[in-house]
Amino acid sequence: MRLTKKTHACIRLEKDGQTLVIDPGSFSEPDAALGADVILVTHEHPDHFNEDRLRAALIADPGAQIWTLRSVAEQLSAGFPGRVHTVGHGDTFTAAGFDVQVHGELHAVIHPDIPRITNVGYLVDGSLFHPGDALTVPDHPVETLLLPVHAPWSKLSEVIEYVREVKPQRAIDVHDALLTELARPIYDGHIGSLGGAEHQRLAPGEAVGV
């Protein structure tokens, strides 16, 4: 697969002429979901889910389909019968040649006073895992971990321990739009030296093979 990093939590995967996009939210490029055969959404927070942009992508390509959890599907399914699919922890499906496993149930704790919402992660082709806003450890080996490197609900020590627990071959930063360039070398150094996996940081638009 070829992975293209988009802004914040969004990534684009291409394989055999097919395209899969995960979490094209409001922090990502306005056209991040356009042209995707498959769109996966981990949860309903706006930095991962933008209803207007997803509707535009579905209208632009009548063959495009979305897989997501119920709270998002309920906002999108009207007007797109049979094209918005609800999934949860333990589900598996194949879409546009991509095999997907669903892992996880809840968003990470932001603060005890804030109710937790549902959140799922996606393991694509048995090798690449996007956890959304959680530190979910799938019960399957992971080659490429899309690492939520910075968030209101995390601290650096937790990010490092997450890499250690998942044990991927490589960790590629996502969820990074709020991380300043001043802090980047600090995160890069600690995750790279302590995580136990190859650590990569891609600029928006940059692509790598995975």
User: Closest Cα to residue 56, out of 82, 86, 37, 30?
Assistant: 30
Q: Report how far residue 113's alpha carbon sits from residue 204's, in angstroms, rounded to the nearest whole number.
A: 34
**Taking a C-beta distance cutoff of 8 angstroms, is the pair 16, 33 a contact?**
no
**Taking a C-beta distance cutoff of 8 angstroms, is the pair 82, 89 a contact?**
no
Please give the average per-residue pLDDT across 11-30, as a whole number. 97
Q: pLDDT (tens digit, 9 = 90+) per residue, 39-80?
A: 999 999 999 999 999 999 999 999 999 999 999 999 998 889
Supply 103's token pair: 């892992």
Q: Report how far residue 84's alpha carbon sits from residue 70's, in angstroms, rounded to the nearest whole number.
A: 10
Q: Domain 2-202 class?
A: alpha beta
Q: pLDDT (tens digit, 9 = 90+) per residue, 122-173?
A: 999 999 999 999 999 999 999 999 999 999 999 999 999 999 999 999 999 9
pTM for this one?
A: 0.96
